[in-house]
Structure 1
Amino acid sequence: MSESCNSRHFSWLMKSCLPNPSDAKSLVPIHHPSTVANPSATAATIASLPDDLLLECLSRIPSSSIPSLAAVCRRWTRLLLSPYFLHLRRGLGLLRHSLFAISAVDSGIFAADLQFQPEIVTWRVNLAVSSSSVCADGSQGSLSHARAAAIGPRVYVVSRNAVLRYDSWMGTLTLRSPMLFPRKKFAIAVISGKIYVAGGGGGSEVTAAVEEYDPEKNRWEVVTQAARKRYGCIGAAVDGVFYVIGGLKIGNETSRASAAHVYASSMDLFDVKSRQWLRSRSVPGGGCVVAACAAVGHVYVLSSHAVELSFWRFDGRRGGGGAFGEWKRLKSPPLPAQVRLDGTVRFSCVGVEDKVAVVQVVGCIDDLLRRSGRSERGLRESLVLLYDTVDGEWRRAADLPEMITRAACACVEW
């Protein structure tokens, strides 16, 4: 990709800036002293605009054209991936969100996104890489328990020994620096354009290190030590706070039922800016947290109670409204009767847009049916339920595509 713009790639954009021959008003000459003294000043193109003005122009482009713009030149790609571009589109009401899922199977790496439009909710498979094309650490299987975090249109798939960056505009995968501490079943969240991970580990060792990843520098560093070592925990972020939720204590305390319960139904709060841990909070209901996400200033928590699920909302807004820390129980997700709450089913929550919290239900239904001796047609391995945070109602969305199994999920902005 060239550093400078190539006119062939954006001639259509330039044409929109040229006078319309059929419009008489656009052909009226404008006499200005500067143009008379310097005729070459009228030959300026969009490529000569400073970055801030060029961003103002690019931010108004329809969403469907953005992937093409990213292929024009390195400068345009850099501007489109900047936080200011997303800020401008958000202010114009043009920023779009989609649920992104990526999984690694024997045949390769597959990804799909679910876009929400009026009356239309469909999955689109937009990546299929053969197992021989991408080899992160010598094994595709290392991504089977990966976590995903998105920064704008880029999705970072973080596994125990490798990190892959997927560009949802260009459809490309890039290998990035791995975490300093190899870990699995950890918490992950994005705050101010950086990725934070905590908890998890390998074997019987759980690390207390909380790591921060800077995508611009492609570098991980330890920013603090966790208040408690959690394995199998879940991450979320609201208002600059990294929430490390649920999980188990691996060590001497695991033999004590009370200690295990405290870890499974509580969350630790890390203030990223002050680098301080806030007071830990308990999740009401006494269940085991199985999924969590952040949306519209709240943390949504899904808890399992062996035979049923409960759904909770924690107010994470710290703007002085006085509601910070309040819990509210919400309507539980309506799971199909075939789905049982056991080890064959796992859940994932993702916040999408400012009004919808998305709960993705991922399970090994085939294993469940084989163990129970049942055989039912039409029972899919994975289903998706959507919760509207405005009207408080659930509805079922399109099931995950068949090739997407045990997916890592995130919300992509574009």
Structure 2
Amino acid sequence: FDPQTNQWSNDIAPTSSCRTSVGVAVLDGCLFAVGGQDGISCLNLVEKYDPSIQRWLRVASMGTKRLGVAVSVLDGYLYTIGGSDGQSPLSTVERCDPKANKWLSVASMNTRRKHLGCAVYNGYIYAVGGRDDATELSTAERYNPKLNQWSPVVAMNSRRSGVGLAVVNNHLMAIGGFYGAAYLKSVELYDSESNSWKLHGRMNYRRLGGGVGVIKIQQYDSILYGSNSTSNILSTSSDDLKNRSLSTYVDL
């Protein structure tokens, strides 16, 4: 998607296999696609897209097969967090050093989670929501890479599986998801000073498993994009978030 032209293009090479419930992240200028399922089985496959050669390249596979996995990048490492092995939700976490092309296990989360939201915020990896063996989750926790330890964070106001998590103008936002009975269009903002979640507007559409991304554009501090079958744009500023005012969502 090009925000300047408001156009989508499909001139990117396809991955080597069809996958759903895949995790993605950008590291060292390459887009990594991690795990997922191909309609038959759960995968531990990892590929990266190199835009300089417009090709997907196979890299080392994870130690565990994971669908509905969250992926984050912190301090030059690629982390795969939770997900499901095709049978049960996982609490385990793996870390890849792209230079060594090797995966290692790090501390597991306190809660098993699949289809969770994940983002890096203030030097920690935050893991929120998702689903365990029985129900959708509102709980949250964060990973300290220096201590190799997960610690609880205050729970969100709503249970959210398939939630999008993003940092917008230095604020952590949880977007959409499914609470067990219906899809959500509500958005929550995490206040690290008070360790609390506050409602922060609503999207135009309810979304489960919608992808979210943040792009800096000249006339705004940052722009948050959300998409599944439709696209929304959130126009906001640092002052909007600081003052907890409701931001504006418009269709693309």
Tell me whether the two structures share a fold, i.e. TM-score over 0.5.
yes
CA RMSD across the alignment: 2.2
Match in the other structure for 1:81: none
d(CA) in 1 for partners of 2:23 and 2:125?
Answer: 15
Say whether residues 1:235 and 2:118 are aligned partners.
yes
Match in the other structure for 1:124: 9
Residues 336-370 of structure 1: CA deviation (Å, up to 9, x unaligned): xxxx76xxx5422222335112111x2xxxxxxxx
For normalisation by structure 1, the TM-score amounts to: 0.51
Say whether residues 1:288 and 2:160 are aligned partners.
yes
- How much does 1:169 deviate? 2.9
Task: Report the AA paired with residue 204 of structure 1.
Answer: Q
Which residue, out of 36, 49, 69, partners 1:186?
69
Instruction: Note if contact 1:295-1:352 (Cα within 8 Å) is conserved in structure 2.
Output: no
Task: Report the AA paired with residue 334 of structure 1.
Answer: N
Instruction: Note if contact 1:240-1:273 (Cα within 8 Å) is conserved in structure 2.
Output: no
CA 158–396 in structure 1, closer or farther in 2 if over 3 Å, else same: same
Gaps in structure 2 of 5+ consecutive residues: 36-42, 241-246
User: What secondary structure does 1:203 align onto?
Assistant: coil
Match in the other structure for 1:358: 225
d(CA) in 1 for partners of 2:26 and 2:184?
Answer: 31
Q: Within 5 Å, give how 1:11-90 maps onto structure 2.
A: none
CA 326–167 in structure 1, closer or farther in 2 if over 3 Å, else same: same
CA 328–178 in structure 1, closer or farther in 2 if over 3 Å, else same: same
d(CA) in 2 for partners of 1:206 and 1:308?
Answer: 22
Match in the other structure for 2:232: 385
- How much does 1:201 deviate? 2.2
CA 156–298 in structure 1, closer or farther in 2 if over 3 Å, else same: same
d(CA) in 2 for partners of 1:236 and 1:333?
Answer: 20
Which residue, out of 207, 210, 228, partners 1:347?
210
- How much does 1:249 deviate? 1.6
Match in the other structure for 1:311: 187
- How much does 1:238 deviate? 0.9
Match in the other structure for 2:55: 172
User: What secondary structure does 2:100 align onto?
Assistant: coil
d(CA) in 2 for partners of 1:237 and 1:164?
Answer: 21
Instruction: Note if contact 1:126-1:171 (Cα within 8 Å) is conserved in structure 2.
Output: no
- How much does 1:206 deviate? 3.2
**Between structures 1 and 2, the one with greater helix share:** 1
Match in the other structure for 2:40: none
What is the percentage of aligned positions where both structures have the same residue? 21
d(CA) in 1 for partners of 2:194 and 2:27?
Answer: 26
CA 232–328 in structure 1, closer or farther in 2 if over 3 Å, else same: same
d(CA) in 2 for partners of 1:245 and 1:273?
Answer: 20
User: What secondary structure does 2:52 align onto?
Assistant: coil
Instruction: Note if contact 1:297-1:315 (Cα within 8 Å) is conserved in structure 2.
Output: no
User: What secondary structure does 1:293 align onto?
Assistant: strand
Q: Within 5 Å, give how 1:97-176 maps onto structure 2.
A: 114-117=1-4, 120-129=5-14, 135=16, 140-141=17-18, 143-159=19-35, 160-176=43-59
Match in the other structure for 1:218: 101
Highest RCO, 1 vs 2 (Cα 8 Å, sep ≥ 6): 1
Task: Report the AA paired with residue 328 of structure 1.
Answer: K
- How much does 1:333 deviate? 0.7
Match in the other structure for 1:331: 201
CA 324–162 in structure 1, closer or farther in 2 if over 3 Å, else same: farther
d(CA) in 2 for partners of 1:348 and 1:232?
Answer: 12
User: What secondary structure does 1:229 align onto?
Assistant: coil
**Between structures 1 and 2, the one with greater strand share:** 2
User: What secondary structure does 1:127 align onto?
Assistant: coil
- How much does 1:173 deviate? 1.2
Gaps in structure 1 of 5+ consecutive residues: 1-113, 255-259, 317-322, 363-381, 398-414
User: What secondary structure does 1:332 align onto?
Assistant: strand
User: What secondary structure does 1:121 align onto?
Assistant: coil
CA 393–158 in structure 1, closer or farther in 2 if over 3 Å, else same: same
Match in the other structure for 1:3: none
d(CA) in 2 for partners of 1:189 and 1:180?
Answer: 17
Task: Report the AA paired with residue 333 of structure 1.
Answer: M
CA 195–295 in structure 1, closer or farther in 2 if over 3 Å, else same: farther
CA 395–307 in structure 1, closer or farther in 2 if over 3 Å, else same: same
For normalisation by structure 2, the TM-score amounts to: 0.81
Task: Report the AA paired with residue 175 of structure 1.
Answer: R
d(CA) in 2 for partners of 1:347 and 1:234?
Answer: 11
